[in-house]
Amino acid sequence: MATTADHFQAHGDPHDHAHDGDHKPAFFARWFMSTNHKDIGTLYLIFAITAGIIGGAISGMMRAELSHPGIQYLGTFAGWLGVHNPSFDQQLHLWNVLITAHGLIMVFFMVMPAMIGGFGNWFVPLMIGAPDMAFPRMNNISFWLTVAGFCSLMISAFVPGGVGNGAGIGWTAYAPLSTSGSQGPAVDFAIFSLHLAGAGSIMGAINFITTIFNMRAPGMTLHKMPLFVWSMLVTAFLLLLAMPVLAAAITMLITDRNFHTTFFDASGGGDPILFQHLFWFFGHPEVYIMILPGFGMISQIVSTFSRKPVFGYLGMAYAMVAIGVVGFVVWAHHMYTTGLSEDVKMYFTTATMVIAVPTGIKIFSWVATMWGGSISFKSPMVWAMGFIFLFTVGGVTGVVLANGGIDDNLQDTYYVVAHFHYVLSLGAVTSLFAGFYYWFPKMSGKMHSEFLAHAHFWVFFVGVNLIFFPMHFLGAQGMPRRVPNYAPQFEHWNHFASMGYLVMASSMVIFFVNIAYAFIAGKKAEGNYWGEGATTLEWTLSSPPPYHQFETLPVIGDDHHH
Amino acid sequence: MAPNASSARAPIDGRNRRVGLIALSFAVLMLGMGYIAVPLYRMFCQATGFNGTPQRATALAASHIKVLDRTMSIRFDSNIDPGMPWRFHPEATTATVRIGARAMALFDAENTSDHAITGSASYNIQPDEAARYFTKVQCFCFTQQTLAAHQSVRMPVIYFVNPKIVDDPDLADVRQITLSYTFHPVAQSASGQKPAV
């Protein structure tokens, strides 16, 4: 491996005019033409936080409207978007626009950029001992395509989309609502936004796969990679295989809308159900794309703060591979009520339940890692334990929903909303905050306040449970999702959930205060501020790491722990 | 420091390019699979009767089918695409046929508008599992139908129920099969161009 090490060393040279490893370009070149994986990771994180504020504000608008039966605020909201004195139908259309925007923003422009673009870019090269990503310029293109996609989605809110302005098609964009049901350019803008974000994601996936396969430090075999890198490798493969199918499906939507094809139109020999098959063939792997990097981060954190290697390392790595593989053959469990035959439903029920096995291995191994460990309850660990609890709750309701027979009752109710928010809004987002507090001092060089991070956790934890736990009751009682109005008997728990939103929102204030505190008054972070439990390669570097790291490649010994 | 950095980087760049291109080809392959899914799905449905796609047979093949002593009730259902100015209904809503025997059903269609309209019918079978046994020999749904202003037509469907249905345990309690049609307007164009079917 010595020759490889020499090549890596040489890699830094073109930038190294002043023989200064920390030579940085000027502001514009550094942040707008960036090819540095850490800078691009930072850009992704800033972008994700910005998009998260917008997506979170939209959920606040929805919770306000849902706090009482009847239509209260939709007319006011329409005024904000420039439609004054909206008709009743326009108000209902605005509701569809809000749920669409919330879903698309949170999935494509908050969770994915933060997990993959943000933490993935920052820490995959650091953890495998590489100087940068394999294709630094493509990394830059990925980021700006994501930004362009977000702009396209924002534009869609201000142009006609059928009954009113904006794309009111749900994040699933089912035909025929998204084809003949929504005239006007808003839906085209929304679809184009997915094209851009999808292209960016595919490029990012190619970059991660190449980096992880080719650029590991000498001695870092695949079976010695930290689990976060494993999670990113599996995620990149899911992106690579799932995203193009979404691109195909939404390209068919575009041509059905604008060029008289009839892929999803029965009058021309097409089939609207085909769109659902294509969408969910992408959509189910997509939910694992959103959670697997979180699994990886939780593994690092639990190991660090238990001061033990992860229990069952290989089982953990291959559990993620198994989740990724099986995740591709369960898609029709989103479509139980589309007239699937009994045999098909039985298959998809069984296959879906099989995923509970590798997921159970992961939960078990996290708990087993903590067992007998020397646990310190630092903020990332508290967030990680919150994640394990919340994700398990979401996983259990997922097993309930996996049953074709039960799903006939619960399809499109708030039970489903509760389920996927427990795994995503509470699961994935909690893991994002765990990762943020774990690595923020490494990225910024400043320590955050542990007190505020703990306060953030407890207020957030209480808030999100107040929002989403009552939704199980609402769904089990039959409240349909995607409606701004509801029968009066649902008011109690809806009002409760809306109050929970205020609690959750106030926890976000603590979060931003904490960031401000760190930058203004935070102590300088040492290289390894978490101490002896933190064993991966990023802890061998300063905080923040030098602009170009690992010009001499680290060599991984045989006794290396993960 | 290596003296010639650019040449020293070449091997890793080459390996990266190779892995990157392989990964890209996977993405392109999946994009293509998304499109191939359309004809594959159609072939699969027509071969298996999956999801209620009825089967077709030639008159010759139909004449060799063994007729059983059991009967099956067939219900006919007709629908019109919203906004299409046609009337369309079966002459009889049910028929009782011997399993394996060819039978004919008649549907009446009338164009109530003042101009010619071309329509095509999509069709479905319920229960879904019966679709692989419900076989059509001749059907107005195989081709497009053009009705002049205020024209009425009687349109036949010749079909039989494949005798293998009696061996299928999933359909042991099925006594009636529903054949449903929906007429859709075909996008009018001066050249009379057909839509992609």
**How is residue A179 annotated by DSSP?**
T
How close, in Å, is residue B153 to chain A by CA atoms?
A: 20
Amino acid at position A62, single letter? M
Res A368 pLDDT > 70: yes
How close, in Å, is residue B93 to chain A by CA atoms?
A: 23
Q: Does domain B56-185 have CATH number 2.60.370.10?
A: yes
Q: For chain A, give the mean pLDDT.
A: 91
Q: Report the alpha-carbon distance of residue B116 to residue B188 in Å, rounded.
A: 10
Q: Report the alpha-carbon distance of residue A226 to residue A212 in Å, rounded.
A: 11
Q: Are A453 and A514 in contact (CB under 8 A)?
A: yes
Packed helices A37-66 and A429-444: angle between N→C axes, nearest 10 degrees: 140
Give the least confident one: A440-454, B108-122, B175-189. B175-189
Q: Report the alpha-carbon distance of residue B100 to residue B69 in Å, rounded.
A: 9
Q: Report the alpha-carbon distance of residue B22 to residue A511 in Å, rounded.
A: 42
For position B51, what pLDDT does the model report? 58
Three-class SS of residue B159? strand
Per residue, the 3-state secondary structure of A349-366, as one string, reads HHHHHHCHHHHHHHHHHH
Q: Answer yes or no: do A13 and B1 touch at CB < 8 A.
A: yes
For position A19, what pLDDT does the model report? 43
Q: Could you tell me which chain A residue has the CA closest to the CA of B41? A: A274
Q: Could you tell me which chain B residue has the CA closest to the CA of A280? A: B34
Q: How many CB pairs under 8 A join A and B?
A: 128
For position B50, what pLDDT does the model report? 64
Q: Answer yes or no: do B196 and A248 touch at CB < 8 A.
A: no
**How is residue A165 annotated by DSSP?**
B
- Environment class of A314 (CB within 10 Å of its CB; exposed 0-12, middle 13-18, buried 19+): exposed
Contacts of A248 in chain B (CB under 8 A): 30-35, 37
B48-91 pLDDT per residue, tens: 666 556 677 777 777 778 888 889 999 999 999 888 899 999 99
Res B172 pLDDT > 70: yes
Average pLDDT, integer, range A30-50: 94
pLDDT class of A22 with cuts at 50, 70, 90: low
Res A12 pLDDT > 80: no
Of B28, B52, B184, the CB nearest to A266: B184
Q: Could you tell me whether strands B86-90 and B134-139 are parallel, antiparallel, or unpaired per DSSP bridges?
A: unpaired
Which of A15, A52, A46 shows the shortest CA–CA distance to A32?
A46
pLDDT class of B22 with cuts at 50, 70, 90: very high
- Environment class of A374 (CB within 10 Å of its CB; exposed 0-12, middle 13-18, buried 19+): exposed
Average pLDDT, integer, range A487-505: 96
Q: Could you tell me which chain B residue has the CA closest to the CA of A9? A: B1
Which of A94, A100, A98, A99 shows the shortest CA–CA distance to A160?
A94
Examine the predicted complex and report whether its ipTM is higher than 0.90.
no
Q: Report the alpha-carbon distance of residue A74 to residue A93 in Å, rounded.
A: 9
Sheet architecture: strand order including B145-147: B94-98, B71-80, B176-185, B117-126, B145-147
Contacts of A244 in chain B (CB under 8 A): 27-31, 33-34
Give rounded-to-5 percent helix, strand, coil for chain A. 70, 0, 25
Contacts of B12 in chain A (CB under 8 A): 4, 7-8, 11, 214-215
Three-class SS of residue B157? strand
Q: Answer yes or no: do B128 and A341 touch at CB < 8 A.
A: yes
For position A417, what pLDDT does the model report? 96
A387-438 pLDDT per residue, tens: 999 999 999 999 999 999 999 999 999 999 999 999 998 899 999 999 999 9
Question: Nearest 5°: phi and psi at A77?
Answer: -60, -40
User: Among A132, A179, A210, which would you mutate to test the B interface (most chain B Cβ atoms within 10 Å of its Cβ)?
Assistant: A210
Hey, where are the domains in chain B? 1-48, 56-185
Of A214, A242, A341, the CB nearest to B12: A214
Contacts of B32 in chain A (CB under 8 A): 248
Average pLDDT, integer, range A309-337: 95
For position A509, what pLDDT does the model report? 97
Res A8 pLDDT > 50: no
Alpha-carbon dihedral B145, B148, B149, B150, rounded to 10 degrees: -70
